[in-house]
Amino acid sequence: MVSSNLIVLSLMYGIVTIWILIRLFVEPSITKESEAFDIRRVCGRLEMIERKIVGKLFLGSEERYERIKNYVFVEANPLIQIFYLLLMSGGYGLVLYDIYPRLPCGKYLSEDHKYWGILSFALCLGSFVKACVSNPGAFHNEKEALKFDFYPYDNIMYVRGRICPSHNLRKIARSKFCQYSSCNIARFDHFCPWLNKAIGQLNYRWFLLFLIIHIFTLTYGALACLVILYEYIERQHLLQATFIDTTTGKTVSANWNIVLRFLFGTQRIPIALFLVCFGMNLIVVAFFSFHLYLISLNVTTNEFFKWRKVTAYCRKHNISPLPPNIYNRGLFLNFLEVIFARPLFAIAVEKKEEMKNNLTFLNKLDEEKKQQQYNITTKRPLFFDIFASSHASSSSSSDLFSPQHEEEADDAKISVAHSKKEEEKHCTADEKHLIR
């Protein structure tokens, strides 16, 4: 009975998993020209059936189905964050209900592990909140972009002069527009649905800390459940016991297969917690190892897939050697760049003067705009602007409106008016001479 239920649950889990993978990674495409078997055509037919069955029968209309589907699979939403909180709180609730009453567990686990469990759970939630609320390195204008303009252009994936069409903003090297966050992200890595946040230059370290803490917690939880099960086997002397086969009614001696089947029937909560912790830990460790590999090369997840396209193009056209990754500064500096959320030493020195010049240029533009606005509001004469610009090299823009300069401007007005009167006198004298 137990085995048949497990088979049914496994089949249902497999069907749901395949459906989710299809919805996430396969783009449906139905074409009448091609009659050959195509997985996309099959997925397109499945989507039509899915829309009609789920949309009309369960939701009432296909439009409502499309809105829900876009919200779940396309738009940024907190559904996976809520699922994470439910998963963590539910798992820790089972620990409080079944695991903590077993402590101390013989000679293996003392009662102090209750406090270690509380600490692990608190660290998981703390790292989750920190990673969710931290700024990924978003910028919305040129001044904000200059704060993250540390990297030179490699002229392969990042070329100077490109403009982001969404915000009409200069694209700095290693940045990317995130459609879920609706802004440009410096050193964009990927969008994490578990955090509902883009991972970029500023929060990449907090994302890695989130993974490390969960690896520690899942490993600790799996080992604790395993020790509790082993202590139960020792305390009940299950390996020396005899069992009755329910199908034949015969007594059989114990072995690991029989003991495990017995544990699945009597110790369901520790086994369920062990399987969940062990299975999820494998996924998180593999994901964290992948990011360690990317850090060692100083490549983001976004750049990793772009480099695959570059490599394939070079091999197809027999281009050798392959273009180098100019951002790879060695293992040590690559890890320091992630820890301090900025490149160190070589790149920082190269970009320092350029950043200063850009900031000076922007400040100068702001001052010119303020000057023009002031001229419009006060309606000053043109020769006063010429007078002020002639003295700009010897004094700052803030000193141009000092009382001393205003007195000099008044003197200039008087001298110009006096010269005009003298010209009028000379003109009238010449006219009189011509008349005579």
> Tell me: the pLDDT tens digits for 336-363?
999 988 876 544 544 555 555 565 655 6
Q: Is the pLDDT of residue 382 over 50?
A: no
Question: What pLDDT was estimated at residue 45?
Answer: 60
Alpha-carbon gap, residue 357 to 368, rounded angstroms = 16
Q: Which residue has the higher pLDDT, 330 or 407?
A: 330
Domain ranges of the chain: 2-73, 79-137+187-297
Q: What is the pLDDT of residues 363-375, one digit of tens each?
A: 666 666 666 665 5
Q: Which residue has the higher pLDDT, 23 or 237?
A: 237
The proportion of the chain whose per-residue pLDDT surpasses 90, expressed as a percent, equals 35
CB–CB of 269/296 below 8 Å?
Answer: no
Residue 59 tokens, joined: 């939701």
Query: What is the amino acid identity at position 225?
Result: C
Q: Is the pLDDT of residue 403 over 50?
A: no
- Helix (H) or strand (E) segment spanning residue 138: strand 138-139
Quote the mean pLDDT of the chain. 77
Question: What pLDDT was estimated at residue 203?
Answer: 94
Q: What is the pLDDT of residues 106-125, one digit of tens each?
A: 788 888 899 999 999 999 99
Alpha-carbon gap, residue 93 to 399, rounded angstroms = 69
Question: What pLDDT was estimated at residue 397?
Answer: 41
Q: What is the pLDDT of residues 202-219, one digit of tens each?
A: 999 999 999 999 999 999
185: β partners: 138, 176
Q: What is the pLDDT of residues 51-110, one digit of tens each?
A: 666 666 556 666 777 777 778 777 788 999 999 999 999 999 999 999 999 888 878 888
In 3-state terms, the chain is what percent helix, strand and coil (to 5)?
Answer: 65, 5, 30
Weakest-pLDDT range from 180-184, 230-234, 425-429: 425-429
Query: What is the amino acid identity at position 433?
Result: H
Q: What is the pLDDT of residues 97-109, one digit of tens each?
A: 999 998 888 788 8
**Alpha-helix residue ranges (DSSP H) falling in 237-330:** 256-266, 268-297, 301-316
Read off the pLDDT of each residue in 228-249 and give the average, rounded to a whole number: 83
Q: What is the pTM of this model?
A: 0.69
CA separation (Å) from 376 to 86, 230, 383, 392? 60, 84, 15, 19
Weakest-pLDDT range from 3-17, 220-234, 370-384, 397-411: 397-411
Number of Cβ within 10 Å of residue 73's Cβ equals 11
Read off the pLDDT of each residue in 131-158 and give the average, rounded to a whole number: 90
Q: Which residue has the higher pLDDT, 167 or 389?
A: 167
- Helix (H) or strand (E) segment spanning residue 121: helix 113-133
Alpha-carbon gap, residue 191 to 178, rounded angstroms = 8
Is the omega angle on the peptide bond into residue 321 within 30 degrees of 0, that is, cis? yes
Q: What is the pLDDT of residues 215-224, one digit of tens each?
A: 999 999 999 9
Query: What is the amino acid identity at position 388?
Result: A
CB–CB of 236/117 below 8 Å?
Answer: no
